[in-house]
Structure formats: C-alpha cells, structure tokens
Structure 1
Amino acid sequence: MYRFILPAFLLLGGASALSADTKGYEARQAAQDKVDLDKQLSGLVAGKPQGCIDPIRYRESTRVGDTILYKNGRSDIMRTDTGGGCFGLRRGDAIVTRTFGSQLCRGDIVRTVDLTSSIPSGSCSFGDFVPYRKP
C-alpha cells in the first residue's frame, strides 16, 4: 500500500511545483513580448483601425506573441492581435489563412500548421488591423 502512496505524493508535489512556475513564465513571456513589440513599432504612429488589408501590399509577416505584424517596408506596418488559440505562432509554425475575397479581414480564421509534420497546431481569428506609419 505504501509503495503506491509515496509515488502519488511525489507526483502531485512535482505537478504543483511546475504549475506554480507556469504563472511566472507567462508573466515573463508577456513582458518580453511587449518589449519586442515596442521595438518593432518604435518611431511609428498608430492610425485608425481598419477591417481589412490587401495581402499583396504586405508580403512580410512577423509574429510577436499573439500579435501578427504585416510589413511593407520599415515605415508601413499593419498590426493585428489575434484572440489567442494560435499556439503555433510563438513556435514559428506556418500561418494558413482562408480568404473569401482578395483581402484579409477581421474575423477571418487563421490556422497554424507545424512545418515538418503538417499537423495543425491551433486556430484563431484576426482582430482589427491597425496601421503604424512614420509621422
């Protein structure tokens, strides 16, 4: 009987220690994401949010946490915050969008797919697209 109880207590103790560190990790990661986002958008001024963008104009994308930045050079960046759920954004998984027209729009579904196994790793939706440009 004791040989089952002791491992159970050790397992519970280890799990609680890991979950306690998760909150600290998430806080550190959120702070790092804010620093990275501020660095990417430094010197640019936010404009009026838009519902859609033309993906042909913005060919380069960068991910910072749950945020996707679409770039047309250094002085023209569109920022969209996802609702979370795209777990592969942070890992660098491929972004797959399905558009019903020629534009990317708020509410469109974004899927992330692992590049090596082609297995979907999450899905989320675009938020408003906020332009950041040089003043």
Structure 2
Amino acid sequence: MRITPFLPLSLALPLTVLAACAPTAAEQARMAQRSADDQTALARDLRGLVAQKPTQCISQYQTQQMRAYGPTIVYTVSPRLKYVSRTQGGCEGVGEGARNDILVTRTSTGQLCAGDIAQTVDRTSGFFTGSCSFGPFVPYRAGK
C-alpha cells in the first residue's frame, strides 16, 4: 500500500486564495511606476519649499486645497505654505489619482490632527472605499 502525501483541504483553500490575491509581475510594475510618479509629482508640488518642524494639528479652515500623492496628503494654505501628512495607507484613491475618491474627515474642533482617521468615499456611488490615519503634519514654507 502506497501512501500519497496530500495537503489537508483546510490548508489548501486558504493558500489558494492567498496565491490568487498576490499581485502579478505586471501589477507590481504598475504599482512601482505609480509610486514613482506620485513621488515625482510630490517633489514638483513642494519645489522651492523647505520642511519645518512637524506639528500635530492644523486648522482645516485655513487650507484652500487638498491633494493626495499615494499615501501622502498635501494641504495647501497658500503657494508659500503647505502641510504634508504621510498616512498609514488606505487613502491612495483620493483625488485625481486611481479612483478619484473623496476624502471625508470629521472634526468638532475644526482641526485635523495626527492620529485622526479619514475615510474615502467613491465619488459616484457614495460608498466608503477605505480609511487612513494621518501622521504628523510637516509645514513646508517658501525658502528665504
């Protein structure tokens, strides 16, 4: 009698699902290119500005524009002052990027603070698509 080794079904199914979720080489290349494009666009947006000491909170009312570069969100107060927050990920679809989602924040103080959680919403359907947590806000000011 010959015994054939086999993988129990309880292990085979999760491994199959994990393998199906793994990005292909082409998808990995697209993700790497998108990340490089985001970094290039972020550097262009911050050109001529110098990073200052990070702050934990910023006033939501002073910001005139918000733009996302992958997991990094830039709040523009003026051409000479921008705040950059690197999120923990999950809000990469915000803005003119891949999905053009809307960033939704809830605050009773009028401030956005490190650790606050924002949600993303599909612009067309109104369904929630993700969430992320803000990191410290680094002011970038025009150099002198």
Verify same fold: TM over 0.5: yes
Q: Where does structure 1 differ by over 2 angstroms across 4 or more consecutive aligned residues? A: none
- 1:56 partner SS: coil
Q: Residues 8-23 of structure 1 correspond to what in structure 2 (within 5 A)? A: 19-23=24-28
Counterparts of 1:24-43 in structure 2, within 5 Å, are 24-43=29-48
**1:112–1:120 Cα contact (<8 Å) kept:** yes
1:68 pairs with 2:109: no
Percent of aligned pairs with the same amino acid: 44
**TM-score (normalised: structure 1):** 0.82
Looking at structure 2, the residues matched to 92 and 99 of structure 1 have their Cα atoms a distance apart, in angstroms, of: 23
The structural deviation recorded for 1:26 is: 1.4
Equivalent pairs, count = 120
| 8 Å Cα contact 1:78-1:132 kept in structure 2 | yes
C-alpha distance in 1 between matches for 2:116 and 2:29: 32
More helix by share: 1
1:117 shift after superposition: 0.6
Q: Which residue of 1 aligns with 2:101?
A: 93
Superposed CA RMSD: 1.7
Correspondence 1:40-55 to 2 at 5 A: 40-55=45-60
Q: Does 1:78 align with 2:86?
A: no
Rg larger in 1 or in 2? 2
1:84 and 1:100 map into 2 onto residues whose CA distance is: 24
Provide closer, same or farther for how the CA distance between residues 87 and 44 of structure 1 changes in structure 2, counting only shifts above 3 A: closer
User: TM-score if structure 2 supplies the norm length?
Assistant: 0.78
**What stretches of structure 2 of length at least 5 have no aligned partner?**
1-19
CA contact 1:47–1:130 (8 Å) conserved in 2: yes
What is the CA–CA distance in structure 2 between the aligned matches of 1:19 and 1:127, rounded to whole Å? 30
C-alpha separation between the residues in 1 aligned to 2:124 and 2:32? 30
Supply the distance in 1 between the matched residues of 2:140 and 2:103 (Cα, whole angstroms): 22
C-alpha contact (below 8 Å) 1:47/1:133 kept by paired residues = yes
For structure 1, list consecutive stretches of 5 or more residues without a partner in the other structure. Answer: 1-14
